[in-house]
Chains A and B, each alone.
Chain A
């Protein structure tokens, strides 16, 4: 499913819409970047509370379709700037990580 459609159905707000037509094939929930580096798979949508700048590099490295900050968490301007430069989709979910992941799972694997 395209990220644009996922965002619409889950009520996610695009902070950086670098490639809204990116394909989403699954999800990954983690706040530990080392864990994401080791275990996330390409085309997954990453749901996190982690706001550090390294989030952008890790998401690009793992070829994730985007990063969703849960519970309305807003990353700093340097993260948004870096995501624009790197062409990484950033989104905010008003719902918490459990709710966001649950709804994403239902949407992708009905």
Chain B
């Protein structure tokens, strides 16, 4: 086993707030430069650009499928999947449920699926920044039913973080949680003692190419894969999780 660097929270051009420069090709290039071995593109309520990143990367780095889902409570969770089918099926399910508010690219930015040749495959019409009309509990159920891993995103953040919005963890295991790139762990533990004993992950939440690599989590694994990630979160077989130090500026 050895250490592998992971960043499972990267936005692409499919997120309205993500830079148009964040094509799957560019994300893969930046991830390689940053020494990442395991990544996931988690766009707001969408995961489609992961398909193209996988074709481009050819497991260098390994690209997991993912989404950042916003629940009706306005809590954001990362949903990470080993395979495309489950992720895309859930993406479709969520899209049908999203309110019929069209995206205004002038206001929010473009929402585009970009292929391995840097060509725009399609533009997504409905605004992806809306919450899906499903409770947190229901979203977790749908992700886990499809074999996905749930990681509450930037738990300490307002808006969007589970602890920031809901005050404390509702019933459930919540074994692994993501903190913001800037969060000082010792301070977060003072405010949220219930973070103690959980697996703390830190990712970049990158919206621009230069933000890839600003925060990460090192994982001590046999190989960079979804199943090894699960084992690391369980702390099995000597696998370890070590989040990067907090960012000092650029908030």
Task: Give A contacts to B, CB under 8 Å.
Answer: 31-37, 50-54, 57-58, 76
Contacts and interface: CB of A to CB of B under 8 A. Distances in A.
Q: How large is the interface on B (under 10, 10 to 19, 20 to 34, 35 or more residues)?
A: 10 to 19
Q: What 3 pairs across the A-B complex have the smallest Cβ distances?
A: A33-B167, A34-B167, A54-B166
B73 A32 contact: no
30 contacts: A31-B74, A31-B165, A32-B158, A32-B159, A32-B164, A33-B165, A33-B166, A33-B167, A33-B168, A34-B158, A34-B163, A34-B164, A34-B165, A34-B166, A34-B167, A35-B158, A36-B167, A37-B167, A51-B72, A51-B73, A52-B135, A52-B136, A52-B166, A52-B170, A54-B166, A54-B168, A54-B170, A57-B167, A57-B168, A76-B135
Contacts of A51: 72-73, 135
Nearest to A53: B170
- With most chain A CB atoms within 10 A of its CB, the pick from B136, B163, B167, B168 is B167
Contacts of B135: 51-52, 76
Contacts of B159: 32
Contacts of A76: 135
A54 B164 CA distance: 12
Contacts of B73: 50-52
B173 to A, nearest CB: 16
B160 to A, nearest CB: 10
- With most chain B CB atoms within 10 A of its CB, the pick from A31, A34, A36, A51 is A34
Interface in B165-200: 165-168, 170
A29 to B, nearest CB: 15
Contacts of A31: 74, 165
A58 B167 contact: yes
A54 B168 CA distance: 8
A58 B158 CA distance: 17
B72 A32 contact: no
Contacts of B164: 32, 34
Interface string B117-158: 000000000000000000110000000000000000000001
